[in-house]
């Protein structure tokens, strides 16, 4: 009926008594790169967790790759082609770099095997030098490369990156952004949450701004740049 | 103590320690990975022994009895995980202790209703019934060596499973970050079911192979449970490697305690535990907290 990879309609999510997401509509088309913006506490991470099934939504419907996933377990949602790189990375410190990658490997939706162990190492050569190291022994930048590499090992249609460059040195951030750009060029759709407005808007096809659990702006880079008051009011840029 | 008596006691300590390892490794995995204190773990040692006795009587062969017993005990483990333990993962340890203590009583009652309260013996298989003569008066039974060798093979299989298979990686990853494992598309509940059933099958297996030398009797699970907890604590909760070392130490301490200091033999394992914990309060190989 349409070409949406991910389609969320009227999503309401609560944490206990707090009403975090207040009726959000959110879509990602195949191969599209979407920037999700907003100040702290506006619901970005909650939206990602709701899409991933980690946090239940109280109302609304989510469809991924044609399946209704509103009540699905996170592992089912991941198997519909979504890979999630959470804030704080979530590497397994008690597993080696090799094991972190290998344990996640599986074909994508429809049996695609584009991403292999070798290709992940080619994308992140530094990981190849650290294969035997424990995940906890890596630097912050290497850990981030490992989580992205691990996510790619699941051959996703959609990659979700929550604060991928947070706390990293500028030179490492540039490296990560270059790789994210390269991943986008392979046709994988991405949702990116990041504090760096310039880096994010130079790479995304479309941007969505959240304020207090509502979508207040949706548009491409040009639309965003032509409305400085949007940036000022909603992002403080 | 002459050299042969010493050798026999070393072999006995080894055999007892390795058997303890089979029971305690499941206990430590279930606690380390799922955070469950399973007091009913020892009941599976008892269930294994009774299954070995009943199936050996029915089939006439201990080997077939062990195979059948493994199938039955694994099935019981899977069903228990689905129906009972799955509800305990997010609960306080107090609920786990209460519920699994209740399970001990249920298992004992079911055992009493099904098999009665008599003591039974299981014959050692004819191929292993010989004894190796050491001196004119001393010999060592082959079956005890078979038990030790079998336990060693199982220990190596467990090590290989956890360190070198993808399932093992998922198990270790699940112990460190359960949510992350799930968002990678891995069904952590299925992993838990497998670990749980495997742990219980190991305890049951220990009861089955021990049945010919220990006899089969009511409440036999209670004794092994307590000493297994000692092993788990000494080894460092959650560490399979620590459990192996601790099981061997406790096995030796118990065996030699009975000979060297019979007056305090029943305390030797606990004295060892106290000494280890004074030196290393979190056990020999403490695993990162969960």
Output the DSSP codes for A136-160: GGS-HHHHHHHHHHHHHTT--SEEE
B145, B160, B192, B290 from B170: Cα distances, Å: 34, 14, 10, 16
**What is the structure's pLDDT at A198?**
82
* Alpha-carbon separation of residue B213 from A148, B22, B26, B227 (angstroms): 55, 16, 22, 18
Low pLDDT (below 70) residues in chain A: 1-2, 237
CA–CA gap between residue A125 and residue B215 (Å, rounded): 60
**Chain A residue closest in CA terms to B288:** A94
Q: What is the pLDDT of residues A76-93, one digit of tens each?
A: 999 999 999 998 888 999
Give the chain A residue nearest B166 (alpha carbons).
A103
In chain A, residues 145-184 whose CB comes closer than 8 Å to chain B? 150-151, 154
Contact A90 B185 (CB under 8 A): no
Nearest residue, CB atoms, A94 vs list B185, B186, B288: B288
> How many residues in total does chain B contain?
290
The minimal CB distance from B184 to the residues A93, A94, A154 is found for A154
Note the ipTM here. Answer: 0.89
Other Cβ atoms within 10 Å of A1 Cβ, number: 5
Q: How far apart are CA A23 and CA A14, in angstroms?
A: 11
Only one residue has tokens 């990659």, namely: A159
- Tell me whether residues B183 and A52 touch, CB distance under 8 A: yes
Do A73 and B187 make contact, defined as CB atoms within 8 angstroms?
A: yes
Distance of alpha carbon A90 from its chain centroid, rounded?
13
Per-residue confidence (pLDDT) for residue A236, from 0 to 100: 75
Q: How distant, in Å, are the alpha carbons of A147, B22, B159, B236 from that of B168? A: 19, 17, 9, 19
10-residue mean pLDDT profile of chain B (290 residues): values are 89 96 95 91 97 95 96 97 92 93 96 94 92 89 96 96 94 91 95 96 97 93 94 92 96 92 88 94 74
B166 interaction partners in chain A (CB closer than 8 Å): 102-103
Query: Per DSSP, what are the bridge partners of residue A134?
Result: A96
pLDDT at residue B289, as a whole number: 45
Look at the block and give the residue holding tokens 């209704």: A68
Separation of alpha carbons A132 and B286, rounded Å: 22
Query: Which domains does chain A possess?
Result: 4-235 (3.40.50.300)
CA-closest candidate to residue B195, choices B16, B17, B15, B38: B38
State the best of B169, B188, B240 to mutate against chain A, taking most chain A CBs within 10 Å: B169
Q: Are A176 and A199 in contact (CB under 8 A)?
A: no
Nearest to A172 by CA among A154, A206, A145, A195: A145
CA distance B20 to chain A (A): 26
* CA–CA distance, B59 with A50 (Å, rounded to integer): 55
Across the interface, of A99, A106, A154, the residue whose CB is closest to B169 is A99
pLDDT score, position B288: 56
CB atoms within 10 A of CB A83: 28
Which chain B positions have a beta carbon within 8 Å of A92's beta carbon?
A: 172-173, 176-177, 180
User: For residue B280, what are the CA distances in angstroms to B95, B106, B283?
Assistant: 29, 37, 5
pLDDT 10s digits, A114-125: 999 999 999 999
| pLDDT tens, position by position, A106-156 | 999 989 899 999 999 999 999 999 999 999 899 999 999 999 999 999 999
CB contact under 8 A, B176 and A95: yes
- When the pLDDT of each residue in chain A is averaged and rounded to a whole number, the result is 91
Q: Do A154 and B187 touch (CB under 8 A)?
A: no
- State the CB neighbour count (10 A cutoff) for residue B115: 15
Of B179, B186, B288, the CB nearest to A54: B179
């Amino acid at each position: 009926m349409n070409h949406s990879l991910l389609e969320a309609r009227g999503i309401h999510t609560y944490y206990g008594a707090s009403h975090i997401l207040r009726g959000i509509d959110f879509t990602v088309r195949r191969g599209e790169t979407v920037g999700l913006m907003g100040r702290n506490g506006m619901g970005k991470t909650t939206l990602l967790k709701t899409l991933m099934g980690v946090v239940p939504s109280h109302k609304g419907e989510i469809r991924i790759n044609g399946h209704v996933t509103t009540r699905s377990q996170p592992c089912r949602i991941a198997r519909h082609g979504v890979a999630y790189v959470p804030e704080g990375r979530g590497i397994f410190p008690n597993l080696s770099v090799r094991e972190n990658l290998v344990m996640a490997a599986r074909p994508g939706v429809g049996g695609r095997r584009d991403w292999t162990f070798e290709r992940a190492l080619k994308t992140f050569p530094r990981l190849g030098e650290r294969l035997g190291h424990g995940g906890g022994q890596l630097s912050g930048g290497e850990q981030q490369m490992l989580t992205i590499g691990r996510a790619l090992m699941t051959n996703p249609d959609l990659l979700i990156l929550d604060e991928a460059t947070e706390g990293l040195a500028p030179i490492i951030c540039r490296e990560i952004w270059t790789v994210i750009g390269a991943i986008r060029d392979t046709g994988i759709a991405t949702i990116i949450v990041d504090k760096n407005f310039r880096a994010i808007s130079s790479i995304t096809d479309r941007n969505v701004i959240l304020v207090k659990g509502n979508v207040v702006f949706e548009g491409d880079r040009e639309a965003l740049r032509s409305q400085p008051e949007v940036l000022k009011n909603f992002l403080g840029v | 103590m002459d050299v042969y008596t010493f050798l026999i006691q070393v072999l006995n300590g080894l055999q007892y320690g390795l058997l303890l390892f089979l029971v305690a490794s499941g206990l430590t995995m279930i606690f380390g990975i799922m955070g469950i204190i399973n007091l009913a773990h020892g009941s599976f040692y008892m269930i294994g022994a009774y299954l070995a006795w009943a199936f050996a009587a029915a089939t006439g062969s201990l080997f077939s009895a062990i195979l059948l017993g493994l199938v039955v005990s694994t099935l019981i483990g899977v069903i228990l995980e689905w129906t009972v333990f799955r509800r305990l993962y997010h609960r306080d340890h107090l609920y786990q202790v209460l519920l699994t203590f209740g399970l001990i009583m249920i298992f004992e009652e079911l055992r009493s209703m099904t098999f009665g309260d008599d003591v039974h013996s299981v014959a050692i298989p004819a191929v292993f019934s010989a004894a190796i003569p050491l001196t004119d008066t001393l010999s060592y039974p082959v079956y005890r060596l078979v038990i030790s060798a079998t336990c060693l093979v199982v220990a190596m299989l467990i090590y290989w499973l956890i360190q070198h298979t993808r399932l093992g990686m998922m198990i270790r990853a699940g112990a460190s970050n359960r949510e992350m494992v799930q968002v990678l598309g891995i069904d952590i509940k299925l992993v838990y079911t497998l670990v749980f059933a495997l742990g219980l099958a190991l305890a049951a297996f220990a009861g089955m192979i021990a049945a010919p030398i220990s006899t089969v009797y009511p409440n036999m699970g209670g004794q092994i449970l307590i000493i297994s907890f000692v092993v788990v604590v000494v080894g460092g909760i959650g560490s399979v490697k620590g459990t192996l070392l601790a099981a061997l130490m406790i096995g030796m301490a118990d065996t030699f305690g009975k000979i060297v200091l019979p007056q305090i033999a029943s305390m030797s394992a606990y004295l060892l535990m106290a000494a280890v914990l004074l030196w290393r309060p979190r056990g020999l190989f403490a695993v990162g907290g969960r």
